[in-house]
Amino acid sequence: MLRLFILLCVSNMVLGQDANKTVASVISQMNRVKNYTVDARIKSDIPLIKILPVKAKIEFKQPDEIKMKTQGIAILPKKGFTDLAIMLKNKSSYTAIFTGYEVVQKIKTESITLLPSNDAGEIVLAKIWVNTGEALILKSQITTRTNGTVVADYLYGKQKEFGLPDELTFSVDVKKFKIPKGVVVDINRTKTAEEPKNQGKMGTIHILFSNYSINSL
């Protein structure tokens, strides 16, 4: 970790970019939104889970109050939905390091690594790809101690001035899923369940946002 930190610091100095300035512009964009409500359509494609798209209503209030009302059961990533925003706003909890330029969604972005100050914390590493021109996060990646890595791709539309995406796609690690046999009384199956082919692979959760109502509460 120390080597990585030194390497990132050196590269930061060589490239001469101010990651903190970029992060600050992103936070400033976020802070323009005091509250919002939005309709969401959540489509999950997770290995070993069969679920149809679900509609939901999301309410957000600063600083980090988020409520979700779903018309049924919806699946969301455990980390990544609100954790990144919470982490970014708490400036003392991380060190932002510029790690280069990358093209994301055909746009040149600044890649910034966020190293948590607390070594024992849940988030091990976070990374964001920022379109500096519009101060928008186009992609993020959060690696946690217990929940694996969650990658999020942001697609902006009408609400890009507030930094709110129209589409959000999460890619999550799904560990091998096994229900304890005692719980499932499925003893009379005539054939053994086929070994699922997609075990241990990535799952995606696609959220489509519509009908934003910003700063109206």
Partner 1 sequence: MIFIKSIYNEVIKIALKPRSYLGIAAITVLVGVILFALKSDGMSIISFVTSSFEQTLSFEGNVLNGNLVAFIILQMLIVQIPLLIALVTGDLVSGEAAMGTIRLLLTQPISRTQLLLSKFMAGGIYTLIVIVWLGFMSVIMGKMLFGTGDLMVLNSDGLVILQEADVNWRYLGGFLVAFLALFTVSSLSICLSCFTDNSIGPIVTTMSIILLFTIIGTLDVHVFDSVRPFLLTTHMASWRSFFEDPLPIQDIKNSILILLIHNILLISISIYVFNKKDITA
How many positions of this chain bind partner 1 (CB under 8 A)? 45
Residue (97 or 151) nearer to partner 1, CB: 151
Cβ at position 54, least distance to partner 1 in Å: 8
Residue (47 or 116) nearer to partner 1, CB: 47
175 lies in the site for partner 1, by CB under 8 A:
yes
**Spatial separation of the C-alpha atoms in residues 50 and 183, rounded to whole Å:** 19
Is the Cα torsion angle 70, 76, 78, 79 positive or negative in sign?
negative
Cβ at position 43, least distance to partner 1 in Å: 12
173 lies in the site for partner 1, by CB under 8 A:
yes
| Residue from 6, 15, 73, 217 in contact with partner 1 (CB under 8 A) | 73
**Spatial separation of the C-alpha atoms in residues 125 and 88, rounded to whole Å:** 12
120 lies in the site for partner 1, by CB under 8 A:
no
The distance from CA 79 to its chain's CA centroid, rounded to whole angstroms, is 7
29-68 mask for partner 1 (x: CB under 8 A)?
-----------------x-xxxxx-x-x-----------x
Cβ at position 52, least distance to partner 1 in Å: 6
Residue (107 or 124) nearer to partner 1, CB: 124
109 lies in the site for partner 1, by CB under 8 A:
no
Q: Which of residues 129-158 bind partner 1 (CB under 8 A)?
A: 146-148, 150
Residue (75 or 104) nearer to partner 1, CB: 75
**Spatial separation of the C-alpha atoms in residues 54 and 100, rounded to whole Å:** 38
Beta bridge mates, 59: 37, 67
Instruction: Give the contacts of 34 (CB within 8 A, at least 6 positions apart).
Output: 61, 62, 215, 217
Q: 138 near 129, Cβ under 8 Å? A: yes
**Spatial separation of the C-alpha atoms in residues 75 and 84, rounded to whole Å:** 18
Q: 82 near 65, Cβ under 8 Å? A: no
Residues in the chain, total: 217
Binding site for partner 1 (CB under 8 A): 46, 48-52, 54, 56, 68, 70-78, 146-148, 150, 172-181, 183-190, 192-194, 196, 203
